[in-house]
């Protein structure tokens, strides 16, 4: 676990939020910093992320996920597939306490971490599942299913389509706009939008891919 100056990290987070013109109250920013502290603490043992520098975690994880938050406006019930260390699921849960956020991963260590974050940050809107998404069954289907660097678009759609509510959509967080993945998606799906994201202090491409049923 690397030492870091919490005040310096909090300033970078706040400056990034201001640059993206997001409305994230101080209380939520404090929870985001609490999440970062837990990730940094657990990462040395659980290998939640390949990043070891907390400042990089602010830009590559927190700000990166925060840039996608406006795309979830109006969402009521969201599933984060292959949630890993909780990105974007935990960030969505913190910034949208009115929205239910479920996260699923097959790795027990990662879901144990997510449950710890839920408990310590008192995130009552979070549910954590440890299993393959193909095996998950729910009574209340999701209006948005999301993932961040999880899988090829076709696999993402095929594995989790049974969980999408009628009229719902997928939002995939990707790096470069994946042209080859777009061409291979099943015929019953269509890409409705491809949105580039600007992430402060992150010198890399980021895109959101929006997918809905074609019929």
Quick: pLDDT tens for 26-35.
999 999 999 9
113 falls within a domain: yes
Helix (H, G, I), strand (E, B) or coil at 212: strand
The reported pLDDT for the residue numbered 53 is 77
130 assigned to some structural domain: yes
Low-confidence ranges of the chain (pLDDT < 70): 1-4, 46-48, 50-51
**Cα 144 to Cα 44: distance, rounded to the nearest angstrom:** 32
Question: Model's pTM, two decimal places?
Answer: 0.94
Is 1 a domain residue?
no
Rounded to whole angstroms, the Cα distance separating 78 from 170 reads 10
Handedness of CA 175, 178, 181, 182 (dihedral sign): positive
Q: Which residues are annotated as a binding site?
A: 82, 87, 133-134, 148
User: How many domains does the chain divide into?
Assistant: 1
Q: List all residues 6 or more positions away from 27 whose beta carbon is below 8 Å from its beta carbon.
A: none
Domain that holds residue 42: 6-213
CA dihedral (110, 164, 160, 150) positive or negative: negative
Does 138 reside within a domain?
yes
Residue 1 is predicted with a pLDDT of 46
209 is a domain residue: yes
63 in a structural domain: yes
Dihedral of alpha carbons 49, 52, 54, 59, sign: negative
Q: Binding site residues for S-adenosyl-L-methionine, as ranges?
A: 82, 87, 133-134, 148
Is residue 75 assigned to a domain? Answer: yes
Contact 195, 158 (CB under 8 A): no
For the domain that residue 178 is a member of, what is the CATH number? 3.40.50.150
* Cis amide leading into 110 (omega within 30): no
The pLDDT of residue 154: 93
């Amino acid at each position: 676990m690397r030492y870091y100056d919490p005040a310096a990290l909090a300033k970078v987070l706040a400056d990034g939020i201001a640059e993206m013109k997001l409305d994230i109250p101080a209380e939520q920013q404090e929870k985001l910093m609490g999440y970062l502290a837990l990730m940094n603490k657990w990462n040395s043992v659980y290998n939640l992320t390949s990043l070891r520098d907390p400042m990089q975690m602010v830009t590559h994880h927190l700000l990166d996920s925060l840039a996608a938050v406006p795309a979830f406006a109006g969402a009521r019930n969201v599933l984060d597939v292959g949630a890993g260390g909780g990105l974007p699921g935990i960030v969505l849960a913190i910034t949208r306490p009115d929205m239910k956020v479920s996260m699923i991963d097959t790795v027990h260590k990662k879901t144990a971490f997510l449950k710890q974050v839920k408990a310590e940050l008192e995130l009552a809107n979070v549910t954590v599942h440890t299993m393959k998404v193909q095996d998950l069954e729910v009574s209340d289907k999701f209006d948005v299913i999301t993932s961040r660097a999880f899988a090829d678009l076709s696999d993402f759609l095929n594995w989790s389509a049974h969980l999408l509510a009628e009229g719902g959509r997928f939002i995939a967080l990707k790096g470069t706009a994946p042209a080859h993945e777009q061409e291979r998606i099943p015929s019953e799906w269509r890409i409705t939008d491809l949105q580039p994201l600007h992430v402060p202090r992150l010198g890399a491409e980021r895109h959101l891919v929006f997918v809905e049923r074609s019929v």
